[in-house]
Each structure stands twice: as C-alpha cells, then as structure tokens.
Structure 1
Amino acid sequence: MKKHDLLKDGNNIIRVLEIQPDKILMIDCAKRTMPVWVKSSVLDSFIGCTDEVLNQTTNFTVTVTDIENLNADQKRTMYDRYTLIAPILPFIADERMRSKLIGSIATEHNISKQTIRSYLCLYLAYMNIIVLAPRQRLDDIKLTQDEKNIRWALNKFFYTTKKQSLMTAYTMMLKEKYCDNMDVLADKYPSFYQFRYFYRKTKKMQNFYISRNGLKNYQRNNRPLIGDGIQSFAPAIGVGMLDSTVCDIYLINDTGNIVGRPILTACIDAYSGVCCGYVLSWSGGVYSLRGLMLNVIADKATWCKQFGISINKEDWSCNKLPATMVTDMGSEYKSENFEQIAELGVKIVNLPSYRPELKGMVEKFFDVVQANYKKHLKGKGVIEVDYQERGAHDYRKDACLTMVDFEKIILHCIMYYNSQRIIENFPYTEAMIAENVKPYASCIWNWGKSQFGAHLIKVSAEELILTLLPRTTGKFSRFGLKVNKMRYHCDGYTEQYLKGDEVTVAYNPEDVTSVWLLENGIYAKFTIIESRFEGKDLIAVQELQTAQRSITKGANQDNLQAQIHLARHIEIIAGSARRSADVSVKNIRDNRKCEQHKRHRNYMEGAKS
C-alpha cells in the first residue's frame, strides 16, 4: 500500500492520502466526504484497483486529453477552483489547520465553506485537476420523440434552398407526424411555440446560411472576415490581381450608332494597390489579356501621351510584370495560352470561383473607378441600379461617348486612383514612417520596389507577345513546315524537312504570314510559301481552303465521268489499230528520218495564208 493508492472492497472505493504506522488517512471516493483517519486493520479486506474502475463505478470518465477539449471558460473555472483548495492540500492530514484554512478562504472569497469542501473532496477522490472543470454530460442528450420530430421537420423543410418559413415547416411536421391516414390531427402535438423554442435553442448561423443560401453565397457574403489583410497574402511588391468587369455605361461609334458596354480588364498590385496596367476593349477572353499584359510592361507616360494626357513617370512607374498573378476560375485565365506566361517565370494562382473577397484589391479598383466617373456622366449613357426593372429608363438612348472619349476618362480615373486617393488603413511599417511615405498607391509602390522581397520581371514586348501566342503542332516535310494546312519556310532547316519531325509552333490567328518554331525556349521565324495567303487572318484562310475543297469536291463526279470517257476512246482507237505479225527492229534511224520528212510543215506558209 502506498500513498494515493486506490483500494476497493465491494462497492466501496477509497483513496489513501496519508500513511502512519498504525493508522491511515483515507477518503471515500464514492460519497466524497471529508478525509478521516482509520486504523490500518480496517483496510485489510480492501484490494487495489485502478482509476478506470473508479471512473466506471462513479460514471465519471477522466482522461489526460480531456483538458485539451475544454473551452476557455471551463479552463478558467477549473484553475480558479484549484487556486481555492491549493493552500489546504499541504495540511490535509491536520484536521484543525485544515478547518481553519477552509474558513479563512471562504471569508476571503465570499463563498460557503461547503463549496470549498466539495471542491477539495472532489479533487482528492480523483487526484486530477480536470474534475474541477464544470461537469459535462458524457452521453448524448436524449431527445424526446417530439423533439426528434421537430428536428426532422427543420432539416427537411426549413434548412433547404426552398427557404420555407418556420410556420410552413411546423405545419408540414403536423401533417407528416401527427395526422392519421385521413389527415386528422392527433389530440396531443407540440405547439408552434415549442417548435420555435427548439429551433432557437439549436440554431447555428453557419448551418442556417449554408443550407438556405448555399455554400458559395455563404463564402461570399456571410463568412467571418478574420484575416490579417491583404499583406498576409502579398507581403511585398510583385503580386498582381487580375479581373475584368463590364463598365456601367453605353458607348457609341464614330457614326453615332450604339455599340454597347465596354469591358475593363485590370491588373492591381496586391501590396500597394497600384494599377499596374489596364485594357479597355469590346471583347474579353485571351485577346484582352494579351492587351493587358502589353499595357503592364508599357511606358505609361508614353501611353498616356497618345491620349493627350501628360503625367510624371513617378505617378505611374509600372513597366514590369508581377512575378505572381492571382486570377479567378475564368476560362480565359485557365486557358493554355495564358498559362504559357509561366515560361517567363511568372507564377499563376487560380482562386476558387465566387470568391471575390480573395482578390479584394482589384474589386476595390473597379468600385472606385466606376464610382468616380458615374456621378459625372449621368444622362450620358451611364446605367443605374434599376436598368433591369420593368418600365425603367432605356439608358442606351443617352449614350453619347465613343470608346476614345471613355478611355480618356478611364485614364484620368486611374491616375486619381494611383496618385491622389488616400489609402487610410494601409499597415505602415516603422521604415515607411521614417521615410515619410505618403499614403498614395503610387508612393507606396515606388517605395516598395526598392525593398527586400519585391519581385518584378522585366520582359520585352516581343518576347511577351510570342509567349502568349496560341500554339499548335507543325510537321516538317519535303514541301516545308506544314502548320494549319499551310506551308512555311526558313533557311537552315534542310535536315528537318527531310526527316519529317513534328514540332511545336506559335502562330498569330490575325496574320498567317509568319509562324514561330519553338525549340528549347527559342523562337525561330518561318514565312509562308503560298503568297496568296499573305496578310490574311486564319479565319479568312480557312474559308478559302474550305471553298476550294467544296469546288473540288463538286467536280469529282465530272472528273470520274471524264476518265471513263477517256478510257473508252483509248480502247476504241487501240482496238482498231492493225497489229503486224512481225515488227522489224532494223533501220530505225532511217525510218525515223523518213517519217520526219513526211510530217514536216512550213508554219510560215500557213500563217501567210
């Protein structure tokens, strides 16, 4: 027998707290009364047992891992209770001192002595601090049949995308669970107030939003926003966020006819918020992305100058590609053409669909730009929130700006966004404050470019265009390099023409005059052999080829018929020819001269007559 051992005799379980030669201090673990001294002989019939037997007997399971599952309130309460009894534990064998300490602690903390005794006995019985935590029921809460029916009705009729009301779910529960075959309501059934009480008691907001509105709507509109801002995603310059939006304005062409709403595609640096580049176009997809990438690496002062806008280079000093590009799941961003930009060292990050908050910088850019021009262009083609409602004004009739006019406006809005808009909540560092960096996107960008971790990639326009061109498989043959059913040539590829290998080729769908053989990261230019296709786009060439095949196919039957007629004529003539029994092969040269003299004609005499 040792100190703190558990002993059992029948249903009685005790714990040994102190051992002296003739007596033992023990506590009844089942009754949990205050420790008492007993003679050693009293415990002769007891045998040793384990903590598992104690837990099973008292229906209280204590494990080491339970403390990790406690919430903050439970842990705080547990340690507070242990703090109350800790001064008593060294004097547990001294009944007089023990009682004195219990009284003083009760007075100091304004709680009853019995409460302190309960905590003390509970701890001594199990010798584990976890028992001082607020007691939890270990078995599942057993629901009544009515509660089970209410839970079934809520799951089947309320927590669904049909968005039924609580009263409808209650009515359907009565119909399905509390009516007989004749739909007669039973005498006893839960009231609507009981139904609503159970709903409120068990309601979880996350389950409510997801079940009724869907997971994507929850992630977009309701999920907790507990991130540390965009800087946790982009700690330095060099993370570009790409997206497109349809502008809220109708435009006309040069002749005054309505064209529609343009598409604005932009690249925004996630760290500073600066607009790295943009493109305004009538069509989106990969075409607009090529224009966007070229604008990102363009000299912005030169670009603005062609629109009659003069800017300082410091206000828009972006002429390199961000090393990381963040996109959504749009088809143009997932296409092979755009992913080829990774060959330049750019990393592509595709975000889940319907998660605009993950690229909040570019969404904010669109909001700021459109809010700036819309308030000044009312009545000039700008649409309002009611444009899809019945009887709303037809904003198309107000259109009066061309694409060139609108692009000038967009450029002015971008310049305001970059160099005049104050970023109030930017997380300034001590270094930024020391250098007095102004709270403008362009100033933060210019400062961030020189900092450790900034990652921008310098690339030429030609290299960027060649990288983003669509690719296909070409095949060498004796007739040249065949690409898209056209033949191309370049000096120095004689061996390849003879071997007939298949290769990867980049081509320009807008002009088939040239293609570029891609080999080991190097582009070799091939020019078209068939001059009739020079300067044409791929669609026009394919139409010509299709028309030619159609004409040729239409003449096939006539060609077969002509071959049949030819064969018949040849057979008739050959059949009527005299066949000599013995043909002499001597004097062939003399015979030839004789026949030449017979068939000789003076063509000048025929011309005079």
Structure 2
Amino acid sequence: MKKYDLLRSGDNIIRVLDIQRERVFVIDCINRKMPVWMESELLESYVGCTDGELFEASGVDIIRDTDALDADQRKVMHERYTMIAPIVSFIADDKMRSKLICSIAEESKVSKQTIRNYLCLYLSYMDITVLAPKKHRDEKELTQDEKHMRWALNKFFYTTKKQSLMTAYTMMLKEKYCDAMGVLGEEYPSFYQFRYFYRKTRKMQNFYISRDGLKNYQRNNRPLVGEGVQEFAPAVGVGMLDATVCDIYLINEEGNLVGRPILTACIDAYSSLCCGYSLSWEGGVYSLRGLMLNIIADKGEWCKRFGISVRKEDWDCDMLPGTFVTDMGSEYKSENFEQIAELGVTVVNLPSYRPELKGLVEKFFDLIQETYKKHLKGKGVIEPDYQERGAHDYRKDACLTMMDFEKIILHCMIYYNSRRIIENFPYTEAMIEDQVKPYASCIWEWSKSQIGANLINVGSRELMLTLLPRTVGKFGRTGLKVNKLRYHCEGYTEQYLTGGTVTVAYNPEDVTSVWVIENGIYTEFALIESRFKGKDLVEIQELQSDQRAITKNEMRNNLQAQIDLAQHIEAIAGSACKASGHMDVHMKNIRNTRKKEQSRCHQDYMKEGSYYG
C-alpha cells in the first residue's frame, strides 16, 4: 500500500492520502465525503484498483487532455483548483483544514460546502481536469410529453391565427391524450408544465415571425443595429425620396370637399435639408416630376409665388443630388424615373420594409405634420381616432384650400431647414473649428464646399425631357408614326424613305410634339395632323376609338351596299346584252361614229340650268 493508491472492496473504492504507522488517511471515491483516518487492519479485505475501474464505477468521464477543453472550461478549472490548492497541503490536519475552508469560502464568496465538494472531487481522482465544468448539451432528448408539447405549439400557437397558450394546450389534450370517444386519459401534462416548456424553448424571433408575419417583423421588431444613414451618406448629395398623404382635409375654391393632398419630398441624408417638395392631388410619376422641378428651382422665386420672402442662405438648393435613395414603390422602380440616370444620377432602391434606412425623410413628414397640426385643430386636421366608430367626422371641419395649405407647408419647411436645431448631428473637428450652426441649411452650405459633395447642375427642360415616357417610333413615307399619330421634322427625308425605328420621348398631356432621342440629343418633331394639336394622348385615343367603333358599326351596311351594287350592275349588263342580241361590233369609221354621237348627245346647259332651276 502506497500513498495515493486506489483500493477496492466490492462496490467501495477508496484512495489512500496519507499513511502513519497503523493508521491510513483515506477518502471514499464513490460517495466523495471528507477523508477520514482508518485502522490499517480494516483495509485487509481491499485490493488494488485502477483509474479506469473508478471511472466506470462512478460514471465520471474525465477529459485528461486540457487542450481538448475550451477557454471557458480551462478558466473555471484553474479558478477552482486555486481555491482548494492551499487546503491540500493541510488535508490531514482537521483544524487547519476547517480554518482554511472558512477563510477561502468567505474570500471567494462561495459556500463552505462548495469548497468541500471541489476538494473531495479533486482528492478522489487526483486530476485537475475533473474540476472543469461539463459542456452544456444543446441537444437533449425530448420526452414523449415534450414532443407532444412541441407539436401543439407549432401547430396551434406559432401561427398567424394567434391562438392563446391555453387554446394550444387544450387542443394538445384533445389530439394526443384523449381516446377514440374523446375522453381524457388518466395521465397528461398539466398546463403549468406546458407553459414551462413554452417559456424554456421560446425564441422571440420565431414568435414574432410566426404570429405576425415576416413583413411586420422586418418593420416593427427586427433589431436595429446598423448605423443607418451614416453608412452611405458621408457628404451632401444623397437624396431620400418618399411620399405621404397629409393628415388634413382640404376644399376647393367653391367650398366643396376635395380630400387629403399628397406630399412628396426629397431630404438630403447628410444635412437633413429639404431639397424640394411637391404638393398635389396626384401621386406616382406625376408627383415625382413636380418634385424634380422643385429641387432645381430657385427657392426664393418659388416662395414669391405664394407671397413668402425667404433668404437665399436659408434654402439654397437648386441642384440635383447625385444619388437618390427610394423604397420599392412602383413609381420609383418605373422606367420613367430610372431614366434620370442619364443625367448622372444613381438610383438606389432599398429592400422592402427597411424604413430605418431612409429614416430622415420619414422623420421629416412627422416633424412637418406635428408642426402645423397643433395650430390647425378644428380646421380639417385628422386626429388619431378618425377611424374609430363614433369618431368625429373631420371632413366637415375642412376650410383650407390647396393654396392656403401650401403656404402653411412652405412656412413649416423654412422653419425645418433654417431654424430647427439638430442636436445629435455627428460634428467633425473641421465643423467645430468653422463654428457651423446646428441648422440643416447651415450644415448644407458648409458641406457643399467640402470634398465629396455630390450635386449635379441640370436645366429644367433637360430634366423634364429626361423624365418623359418613351416609346418606339417608326419612320415611313407618311412621316414618323408615334402612338398612331404622324410627325415631321425637316432633314429626315432619307429616314422616311428607308424606314426603321427610333426611341421617342412624348408628353402624354400634349401630343403637339415628340422628341427623337439619338446619342443623347433630343430632336423635336411636330404633329402633322393639326386637328389633334393641343390635345392629350388619352383624349385622342378616345376619339380614335370612337371613330373605329362608328366604322365597325357600319361594316354590315357597307357589305350589303356592295352586294346591292353588284346586283344592279349585273342586271343592267344582262338586259343590255339581251337587247343587243350579242350582235357583232362594227370596228370601221370609229371617228365619224364618235362625232355623230357627240352631236346627238350635246346639250345646252344654260337651258338645262333654267330647267333644273
């Protein structure tokens, strides 16, 4: 028998920790209690034992290679050994051992029993790796009841029907714990067990998506961990576009209710300046054209139309941003709007349900509406309860016209651009050095002169021609045919004769002219059919359609008339042939015969005129 030997007698396995004459200091390796002194003669029935037998008897699996442990396991293992290391040297001294256990427990802020457990565990196996925490088993075999619970949650709770937890529990009992007659069995899990399993296995992402849908999750619950605007707007020149229906009802000049106007705006992502806007009754591509024209317009001259005076430095924007950031709206994905890329503008379509990526324009609408709504209560402004039953009919309060409301919107925008303090703007050292004021207009003015500003100077005519819808025109002898109308321009004789197709821009609101696009150059063609000048394309298409309908309605009468004509001709020809008896035609003296017939058939039309009169 030697120190640290393992001895076994039946199911008992002990380890020798110290030997003194007739006494032996041992620890029970199976029950792992504190070591005790035993008389040597009591160990006569014990025989030698190996570490493998100890592992098998205790059911402990030790990873002897510390390299196989992860960083956290090695950290905890050494921390635990550090706690018990001072005690191991005095393990046979009861008083000193107890004193050390108390002091270490107090210092390490753990219980004394925890120290004893670590000590007995180490002494039983004499291997530091036994102190390493076991890895958490992610995949645990589910019981049959847990499998039923998981099935019920997936089938009845994690669905768009949004059933309650109690309903899912009841359906589980009905489907899995009732006999063929629908009688509940003797043994079944309680609702508290069902709820505990749900809480233990619940994943919030799965909860939101399964019950509310992916779209709602992306819009309202998805973690917002990106930098948002700062990721793609390091300088001015990134315009964010969006539109909203204003929370106010308007009337026309006669006092009749019209409805709620549509506000379309472009906000610079860097400075949050409103580059331009469009307020109209129509949305889509129509409002985008108005917005583009407003962006490049002189804002001082624009405000004068409404009797408003504004300083140039408060709204000094008359160039297009080099990049437009839009959502997946149909008007932004249309070919008409994407044609603006011909001016050098880059169009970025954001993925669906990512409003935080264009949060500045969303916030702009909130701020503008919050600014005017508190002053226009009772004048057509909509309150949050407008869709609830019994709510006030805010349409009856309408008293502002579009002109009145646009003046209000302009004043709100001027305040937004030049007087609203931007508290959390990420100031650079250069901005602080130049004492840039925290207003959108000031940040815009300062940033325009910095490296990286991306603004494009473009004329209004060039911009509008670029945004016009396009189609294919066909050259022919009758001119250039576009939308079933004919156009002409000097210098295209060769094209008329040779034919061919060409890309044409047209104005659907006035068909008087179209523009042929060749190598980026717009050549104007004038309408040949003057009766259509000044009319819009829809009106002309309706006229052409009505004409075709009239013609189609007369097709039967035309066919009948042709049949009648053929019958008359055949009848006359038949009677003439019958009267002549198919005589031979005399071919001589044709000239004399013709003179005789002229003399016989000659009439004095003066006399005939008095006769007809």
TM-score (norm 1): 0.80
1:265 deviates by 0.6
Alignment of 1:159-558 (within 5 A): 159-558=158-557
CA RMSD of aligned residues (A): 3.6
| Deviation per residue, 1:314-353 (Å, 9 max, x gap) | 1111111111111111111111111111221222111223
**2-side partners of 1:211 and 1:151: how far apart?**
14
SS of equivalent to 1:151? helix
Counterpart of 1:204 in structure 2: which amino acid? K
Compared with structure 1, are the counterparts of its residues 113 and 63 closer, same or farther at alpha carbon in structure 2 (3 Å cutoff)?
A: closer
Deviations 1:551-592 (A, max 9, x none): 2222222222222232233333333054652442x6555555
Q: Distance in 2 between matches of 1:377 and 1:498?
A: 65
Which secondary structure state, in structure 2, belongs to the residue aligned with residue 424 of structure 1? coil
**Letter aligned with residue 181 of structure 2:** M
Distance 1:497 1:116 in 2: 103
Is contact 2:77-2:133 (8 Å) kept? no
Say yes or no: does 1:135 pair with 2:131. no
Q: Measure how far apart 1:450 and its partner are.
A: 1.5
Aligned pair in 2 of structure 1 residues 59, 502: CA closer, same or farther (>3 Å)? farther
What does 1:71-86 align with in structure 2 at a 5 Å threshold?
75=71, 78-79=74-75
Letter in 1 for 2:169: Y
Determine if contact 1:516/1:525 at 8 Å carries over to the other structure: yes
Task: Give runs of aligned pairs for residues 543-582 of structure 1, distance below 5 A.
Answer: 543-575=542-574, 576=576, 578=580, 581-582=584-585
Deviations 1:462-513, CA, capped at 9 Å, x for gaps: 1111111111121111111111111111111111111221222111111011
Aligned equivalents of 1:482, 1:124: Cα separation in 2: 94
Distance 1:364 1:540, change over 3 A: same
Matched residues, number: 535
Quote the offset at 1:196 in angstroms.
1.6
Q: Where does residue 37 of structure 1 map in the other structure?
A: none
SS at 1:443 equivalent: helix
1:65 Cα deviation after fit: 10
State the Cα distance separating 1:204 from its structure 2 match: 1.8
Q: Distance in 2 between matches of 1:484 and 1:124?
A: 91
* 1:80 to 1:436, Cα distance in 2 relative to 1, 3 A: farther
1:98-113, aligned counterparts within 5 Å? none
- Contact 1:153–1:169 (Cα < 8 Å) also in 2: yes
- Counterpart of 1:153 in structure 2 is 152
* Distance across 2 between alignment mates of 1:430 and 1:122: 63
Cα-to-partner distance string for 1:493-539 (whole Å, 9 max, x where unaligned): 11111122122211111101111112222211111111110000111
Contact 2:469 2:505 in 1 (8 A): yes
Q: Partners in 2 of 1:63 and 1:573 — Cα distance?
A: 122
* Secondary structure, counterpart of 1:572 in structure 2: helix
CA displacement at 1:597 relative to structure 2: 4.5
Contact residue 85 and residue 120 of structure 1 kept, 8 A: no
Using the TM superposition, give the Cα deviation of residue 229 of structure 1 relative to its aligned residue in structure 2, in angstroms.
4.0
Quick one: distance in 2 between partners of 1:157 and 1:340?
50
Identify the range of structure 1 (170-179 vs 275-284) with the bigger mean alpha-carbon deviation: 170-179
Give the Cα–Cα distance (whole angstroms) in 1 for the partners of residues 595 and 196 of structure 2.
125
For the Cα contact (< 8 Å) 1:517–1:524, is it kept in 2?
Answer: yes
Q: Aligned in 2, Cα 1:82/1:61: closer, same or farther, shift over 3 Å?
A: closer
Deviation for aligned residue 1:361? 0.6
The 3 A distance-change label for structure 1 pair 109 and 183 is same
| Amino acid in structure 1 at the alignment position of 2:565 | L
Tell me, in whole angstroms, the C-alpha distance in 1 between the residues paired with 2:64 and 2:524: 78
Moved more, 207-216 or 559-568: 559-568
Q: Per-residue deviation at 1:124?
A: 8.8
Give, in whole Å, the separation in 1 of the partners of 2:370 and 2:65.
61
Question: d(CA) in 2 for partners of 1:565 and 1:495?
Answer: 46
Instruction: Single out whichever of 559-568 and 445-454 deviates more from structure 2.
Output: 559-568
Cα shift readout 1:115-137 (whole Å, capped 9, x = no counterpart): 699899999999xxxx9974314
Aligned residue type for 2:559? L
Q: Which amino acid aligns with 1:315?
A: D
Measured in 2, the distance between the counterparts of 1:64 and 1:514 equals 82
CA distance in 1, matches of 2:558, 2:255: 54
Q: Which moved more, 1:197-206 or 1:288-297?
A: 197-206
Structure 1: distance between partners of 2:120 and 2:273: 67
CA contact (8 A) 2:237 2:323 kept: yes
Quote the residue 2:53 is aligned against: none
- In structure 1, the gaps of 5 or more residues are 1-56, 68-74, 87-94, 97-102
Query: 2:183, 2:521 → 1: CA distance?
Result: 83
Alpha-carbon displacement from aligned partner over 1:414-454 (angstroms, at most 9, x marks no partner): 11111111111111111111111111111111111112221
Q: In the alignment, is the contact (CA less than 8 A) between 1:122 and 1:132 conserved in 2?
A: no
Residues 384, 107 of structure 1: CA spacing in aligned structure 2 closer, same or farther, 3 A cutoff?
closer
Distance across 1 between alignment mates of 2:180 and 2:487: 82
Identity %: 70
Distance 2:264 2:69 in 1: 54
